[in-house]
């Protein structure tokens, strides 16, 4: 037997329902710091150095950030090349 339940709610509503704290202010600070650090990046090595200094979870956080950047680069190159691939389209 398979039962599927679909819940339509915002992320804020889901956090509140599950009793999780609102971390949007901390997330904004973190994203702003990464954005500022990346503005002067001219090479992948420099990007990795910045990311490792800012990553809160050490190597795990760095790997997640690296995957995020790589998928963004793939999406950007796909968009500029005329190909409309999604994140799973590789």
Please state the domain count of the chain: 1
CB 54 within 8 A of CB 34: yes
- The Cα–Cα gap between 81 and 77 comes to 6
- pLDDT, averaged per 10 consecutive residues of the chain (90 residues), comes to 92 87 84 76 74 66 76 70 47
Let me know if residue 23 belongs to a domain.
yes
Structural domain contains residue 88: no
Residue 15 within any structural domain of the chain: yes
Domain that holds residue 72: 11-80
| pLDDT of 83 | 45
Q: Is residue 90 domain-resident?
A: no
Tell whether 3 is covered by a domain. Answer: no
**Collapsed DSSP state (helix, strand, coil) of residue 29:** helix
pLDDT at 57: 64
Q: Is residue 1 part of a domain?
A: no
Residue 85 to residue 52: CA distance in whole angstroms = 29
Could you tell me if residue 89 is inside a domain?
Answer: no
**How many whole angstroms separate alpha carbon 77 and alpha carbon 69?**
12
């Amino acid at each position: 037997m398979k039962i599927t339940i679909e819940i339509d709610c915002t992320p804020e509503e889901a956090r509140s329902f599950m009793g999780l704290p609102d971390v949007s202010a901390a997330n904004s600070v973190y994203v702003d710091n990464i954005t500022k650090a990346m503005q002067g990046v001219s090479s992948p090595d420099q990007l990795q150095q910045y990311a490792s200094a800012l990553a809160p979870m050490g190597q795990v956080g760095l790997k997640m950030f690296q995957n995020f950047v790589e998928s963004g680069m793939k999406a950007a190159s796909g968009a500029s090349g005329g190909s409309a691939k999604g994140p799973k389209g590789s």
